[in-house]
Amino acid sequence: MNTAPLLVAPSVLSADFSRIAEEVETIRTSGAAWVHLDVMDGSFVPNITFGHKFIKDLRPCSPLLFDTHLMVTQPERHVEIFAQSGCDYITVHAEASIHLHRTLQLIRSCGCKAGVSLVPSTPVSMIESVLDIVDQVLIMTVNPGFGGQQLIPATLRKISELDQIRADEGYDFLINVDGGINLRTVRDVASCGADVVVCGNAFFTAEDRAQFVSDMIQAASEEKRR
Ligand code: DX5
Ligand code: ZN
């Protein structure tokens, strides 16, 4: 298990879009490490959010790492334009890209870090043959599409399984966990091996966002020391 401090990645999905630059600035001042950007197309998932123009316009507003989560069908068609918009990580769904290996190579060839994501019903075995070419695996702990849902407990063992494979094979990808993460569930995912956690609702509804981030990091480190 990676014992480095937990990275917190607030998802702008739960931000007030009418004040988006200010909201993204609070991600920086809270001490969070990454900005998580949920792109939804109304086809792979029921919801529609925003596209590459939104990310391009936000890029000068924040020095933080941009972690873009593409919940779109055939993501390979959009990789280049998202890379040009200033994303650092581009994560695609294994369920959405038939030639997943090629898509991940394309992301890297565009100068970005490559991530692969799994919805709750997809087993880890589906991505075993691409784990040597990914920079992160994003485990969905809710069915993607909406913020503010409850974590599905059955997804936790996939985090442990990935952590074990990573240790056995000597891989160095990060394990990012997305959906229903709060001060309670962060303990469970950290003890299973999460390195990064996405939080939308919990971050944006916290009374004190900086306190929230520091409490999350503290809770995760207590679990990893156990
Ligand atoms: C869900 C998105 C998540 C979402 C998480 O489809 O991928 O990133 O914003 O939101 P919370 O933390 O509220 O579950
Ligand atoms: Zn996400």
150 alpha carbon to ligand 1 midpoint, in Å? 10
| Domain locations along the chain | 7-224
Rounded to an integer, what distance in angstroms lies between the CA atom of residue 50 and that of residue 140? 20
Ligand 1 neighbour 67 (Cβ under 6 A): no
For 48-72, write each residue's pLDDT tens digit.
999 999 999 999 999 999 999 999 9
Known active-site residue 195: no
**In b/e form, how buried is each residue of 182-202, taking b as 16+ CB within 10 angstroms?**
beebbbbbbbbbbbbbbbbbb
**Which residue's CA lies nearest to atom 1 of ligand 1?**
144
Q: CA 211 from chain center: how many Å?
A: 21
Whole-number pLDDT of residue 3 = 85
Ligand 1 neighbour 142 (Cβ under 6 A): yes
Q: What is the mean pLDDT of residues 141-155?
A: 98
Q: What is the mean pLDDT of residues 159-175?
A: 98
Structure tokens at 188: 């469970």
Whether residue 179 has pLDDT greater than 90: yes
Q: Classify residue 68 by burial, with Cβ atoms within 10 Å: 0-12, 13-18, 19+.
A: buried
90 alpha carbon to ligand 1 midpoint, in Å? 16
Residue with tokens 């890209």: 97
Reported as type and span, the H/E element at residue 215 is helix 209-225
**7-224 CATH fold:** TIM Barrel (3.20.20)
169 alpha carbon to ligand 2 midpoint, in Å? 27
Ligand 1 neighbour 199 (Cβ under 6 A): yes
Catalytic residue among 41, 67, 135, 178: 178
Catalytic residue among 16, 38, 88, 195: 38
Whether residue 86 has pLDDT greater than 90: yes
Q: Is the separation of the CB atoms in 84 and 66 below 8 Å?
A: no
Whether residue 226 has pLDDT greater than 90: no
Whether residue 7 has pLDDT greater than 80: yes
Whose atoms come closest to the Cα of 142: which ligand?
Answer: 1
Ligand 1 neighbour 181 (Cβ under 6 A): yes
Per-residue pLDDT band at 1 (split at 50, 70, 90): confident
Q: Is the separation of the CB atoms in 69 and 36 below 8 Å?
A: yes
93 alpha carbon to ligand 1 midpoint, in Å? 15
Known active-site residue 172: no
Long-range pairs of 13-16 with CB within 8 A, sequence gap ≥ 24: 13/38, 13/49, 13/147, 13/200, 14/147, 14/148, 14/200, 14/201, 14/203, 14/204, 14/205, 15/204
